[in-house]
Every structure is written in structure tokens, then in C-alpha cells.
Amino acid sequence: MAIERTLSIIKPDAVAKNVIGKIVSRFEAAGLKIIAAKLVQLSQADAEQFYAVHKERPFFKDLVSFMISGPVFVQALEGEDAITKNRDLMGATDPKKAAPGTIRADFADSIDANAVHGSDAVETAKVEIAFFFPELKAR
């Protein structure tokens, strides 16, 4: 299996619940290393650019307003099979459908306030990591 990098965002709902540490512990326990991290308040333009792939979707406006409703904790994670591993730890987008023991099952309230974001492919991970951590040397 390949060493990969992925972008994780702990969304405003989870930051507000004070569970950054609990979520980060799950990444660490799964062998994912944090190679960059910061707490940031996204602007509307940041959130619109970050989620640009969804701009024609009906939920886009709500997604952007939610993502700027408070600070987010952004991390670049590195490890074996990091993209899939992170998506497995996160669970399904809708917490009602997320498997027990996943981050979304344990910490998310709704499909909008769903605790975490994770890159979904090698190419998107590259773009998303460069968006938040342009200083990180590409591997």
C-alpha cells in the first residue's frame, strides 16, 4: 500500500463541541501522522473556492454558510492508504447512515453539521492540501 497524504477538516460543529482532541486521537491511533495543522476562520470566498465542485448543488449555500459559522481545524495527514483510511474513520456523509464507532456516528448531528471533511481521491487531496498549506513540499 502507498504512503499518501490527505486533507482533514474538523468542521465548526465539532470545534464548538470541543472534541478536536478526541477526533485527532482517532487519526493518531490509526497510524496517520499530522504533518501540518492550523485553526482557521474561513471567509465566504475561501469556503466557496474550497467546495467549488459542489457549486451547482442545492445544498451549496447552506454548506458554505455552515463552514464559515466558526473556526475549523485543518490538518494534512500522512500515512499508508491515508485517503481511504481517513474516509473509513469518518463514516458516511449522513451521520444517520454512518457505521457505529465512526467519527460522524459519534460526533455529527446532521448531514450539514457532520463534524469532518476528508479528501476523496489522490488528486483532490493534492489540490486541497495546497489550498491550505502551500508551503508544504509536495511528495
| Residues designated catalytic | 117
From candidates 6, 75, 86, 114, binder to ligand RTP by CB under 6 A: 114
State the Cα–Cα distance between residues 95 and 97, nearest whole angstrom: 5
| Type and span of the H or E element at 3 | strand 3-10
112 belongs to the binding site for ligand RTP (CB under 6 A): yes
In the range 81-100, which residues lie near ligand RTP by CB under 6 A? 93
| b/e per residue 50-73 (b: at least 16 CB within 10 A) | bbeeeeeeeebeebbebbbbebbb
| Angle, CA of 66, 84 and 38, to the nearest 5° | 45
**Ramachandran angles phi, psi of 107, nearest 5°:** -125, -15
From candidates 120, 126, 127, 130, binder to ligand RTP by CB under 6 A: 120
From candidates 15, 32, 63, 125, binder to ligand RTP by CB under 6 A: 63
12 belongs to the binding site for ligand RTP (CB under 6 A): no
Minimum gap (Å) between residue 20 Cβ and ligand RTP: 17
Binding site for ligand RTP (CB under 6 A): 54, 59, 63, 93, 111-112, 114, 117-118, 120
